[in-house]
Chain A
């Protein structure tokens, strides 16, 4: 087992998209461990609607890469049962928005069995699912919903933003003895048929490595203001920070990488350092991640902040279809810049 943190990324020039990095992580674990298998809708010949399983069927065959019927309750429960019997399933929920048709298997079964069994039964599986909007897929195919999953005890929730973390977090998730919800934003995958996103392509070591679950990454250091974010919004935050740097504002950007466990230490350390915090979250605003981070800071020491806490999240509306409306609610670099300027007074 090789453990690498982004801060000490090994020297490599080989570049991959986030999607290819994820697949490489899965593929390497499947080679190492015969108990790992993949199931879900269109994960076989199609290779995953968002390229999360490209090439796995050809490499590992239909016994280990299984297309399922559109029966999320059945195959989500199947994954749980197989995990209970010692296998390590990777089960894909095509869009996180589809959780409504199978949530019982997720939150009442996979998440609770370990607790209800008094620790006697383990459920080692990865539930990977596509999240996020920005391409006019409408209210039922554009949500993030990580706050919903993180709210429920018993599920780890990881949300990679870049190729390096995508591979390392996938390997960690597969090796974890708990159910891990692995949420990949369609906009970070580096899909050729979506708007070009340069940050979705990056150096990825060829060997197997883990990125620890529960450890945030300070992806840019700064002294004036802390932007706490995750997933695609990290890219927007970095773009905003680049622009603000030219205007004399020095932003620190934290990529949470996981919601459960939440790296409270890194949040508090940075908040204490800059005294100004903006949370950028593509999930809904109320009762979610941004409020949780405010609570973490307040419970520790509200005096850490020099100015009131700020958050940029999707207002409490369904994600609109029309592009002008959708971009009116999604976090963007421009909106981050304006929030930061407000914070800086």
Chain B
């Protein structure tokens, strides 16, 4: 399944906490929320409106 990275709720380089809402991915007329899997500094790997594949990394938390 593929979707579009609709919204980043965080900025590149920001510190996030585990469980925090970081992004929303849109698949047709529904959207899925993405939460931070861990705490740390986040590096965004895709831009808003990029097409993303299921299970492909969209960000990295260091």
Contacts and interface: CB of A to CB of B under 8 A. Distances in A.
B26 A192 contact: yes
Contacts of A192: 4, 6-7, 24-26, 31
A320 interface: no
B29 A15 contact: no
A16 interface: yes
Contacts of B53: none
B10 A15 contact: yes
B7 A201 contact: yes
A16 B24 CA distance: 11
A56 B49 CA distance: 27
Contacts of A14: 9, 20
Contacts of A17: 7, 24
Interface residues of B, number: 17
Interface of A: 13-17, 20, 51, 190-193, 196, 201
B39 interface: no
Interface of B: 4, 6-7, 9-10, 14, 20-21, 24-26, 28-31, 48-49
Contacts, number: 29
Nearest to A201: B7
Given A13-B14, A193-B28, A193-B29, 8 more contacts: A15-B9, A17-B7, A190-B7, A191-B31, A192-B6, A192-B26, A192-B31, A193-B30
Contacts of B10: 15
B7 A193 contact: no
**Chain A interface SS verdict (over half):** loop
Contacts of A16: 9, 21
Contact of A193 (B9, B26, B48, B49): B26
B39 to A, nearest CB: 15
A139 B14 CA distance: 44
15 contacts: A13-B14, A14-B9, A14-B20, A15-B9, A17-B7, A17-B24, A190-B7, A191-B31, A192-B6, A192-B24, A192-B25, A193-B26, A193-B31, A196-B48, A201-B9
Nearest to B48: A196
A192 B9 CA distance: 13
Contacts of B14: 13
Contacts of A191: 31
Nearest to A46: B30
